[in-house]
Amino acid sequence: MPATDLKNRLIEAATRAGAQKTGFAKAGPVDDDMTERFGQWLEAGNHGEMHYMANHADLRRDPRLLSENTAGANTVMVCAFSYFHHETQAPGAARFAMYAHGDDYHEVLRKRLTPVAELLHQEGFTCRICIDSAPVHERYWAAKSGIGFIGRNSQLIVPGMGSYFFLAEIITSAEIAPDAPCLGSCGNCGKCVKACPAGALRADGGFDARRCLSYLTIEYRGALPTHTDTVLRGSRPTAEVLGNRVYGCDECQRVCPHNAHPPETGIREFGLRPELRGITCADILAMTPRQFAETFRHSAVKRAKLTGLQRNAAAILQPDTVNPHDPRNGRG
C-alpha cells in the first residue's frame, strides 16, 4: 500500500476512534534543548515526589526504544482526543477535574486505538500504543507532529480547539510522511499564571509541580500543609486555596482564551458519571472502601486512593487535621 494511502487510512481510523486531530512525526531522539530543559527541571526538584519522572531517561529521550522492534521504529503517530463536555457538578459538590469525570482514559483510549494498531499489523508493521504511562515526552511529540503547541500553562494547546485533550501515541515501524511542527505560542497572555491558585506556573513558562493543586491532591502522598504560599497572594490556609477541589484543578484551562469554544467530546465514556454530580466532601469522608471501589470503578480517581481523597476532603472541611509540622507550610 502506498505510504500516502496508509497515512490517510490511519487518520480515518483514528477519527473513527474519536480523535479530533492526528499528526505524524519522524521517530528519533528528542531535541537536545528539550532533554537539557527537562533535566534541569528535575534537578531543581520541580517534580516533587513523582520520582518515576526521573526513571528511564534513555526511553524518554528516544521513543524508538519503546517499539516492539527497535531497529524498525520510524514514526510517532499522535492522536488528540477531546474530553470536554458541558455537564457540570452541582453547586457545593466536591470538585473533580473534568478529565476525571468519566472513565479512565488509559482504558478507554487503548480500547479505541486497538483497531488502528490492528490496521498497522495487517499491513505488516509493528507498533506500540502509548497512553500517558509510558516514558514519552507526549506534548513534545504532539507539537512535533503538528497537533498543537505547549502553552504557558504547560498544557498542549490545539489551535482553534483548546487544551481539554488526552494525548495518545502509536510508535510504529511504518514510515509515514511527517507533518510540519506546530509553532504557535501564548504570546503575552499570562492569564493562566495569574489564575493558578498556588503559583505553580511562572511567567517564563516554568512549572513547579509542588505548588500545583493537581499534584497536591493526586500525586502527593503526605499530609497537606496547613498553609500554602500562593506567590502572588502570600501565605493562605490550604483549605482556602483548595476551595472545593478534591481531585485536580482546571483553573489554568478555565481562564485560557484558547478554551473559549472547545469541541465537545464524542466519547460518551468521558461524560460526567452520575455519582459525581452532587457528591460532597462529607460524602467522601463517610465513604467506605467498598463504596469507593463502586463509585470509582474504571475511574482515574483510583490513583489517589480512598485515603488520598479523604485527606483532601478533610483539609477542606476539617483544616485543623492537616499537618501543622509539614516542612512545606508557608512554601506551597
Distance CA(313)–CA(308), nearest Å, equals: 9
Q: Is 58 marked active-site? A: no
Between β-strands 235-237 and 127-130, what pairing exists: parallel, antiparallel or unpaired? unpaired
Distance CA(14)–CA(155), nearest Å, equals: 22
Closest CA to 58 of 71, 79, 39, 40: 39
Cα→Cα distances 196→63, 291, 313, 326, Å: 32, 32, 20, 22
The residue with cell 509542588 is 210
Distance CA(20)–CA(25), nearest Å, equals: 17
Q: Report H helices in the chain.
A: 3-16, 32-43, 57-61, 105-122, 138-144, 191-195, 213-214, 238-242, 251-254, 274-277, 281-285, 289-295, 305-317
Retrieve residue 90's grid coordinates. 452541582
Cα→Cα distances 327→81, 222, 223, 227, 240, Å: 39, 11, 10, 11, 19
Between β-strands 75-82 and 165-172, what pairing exists: parallel, antiparallel or unpaired? antiparallel
Beta bridge partner(s), residue 201: 207
Q: Which of 62, 132, 283, 326 is catalytic?
A: 132
Q: What residues are labeled active site?
A: 132
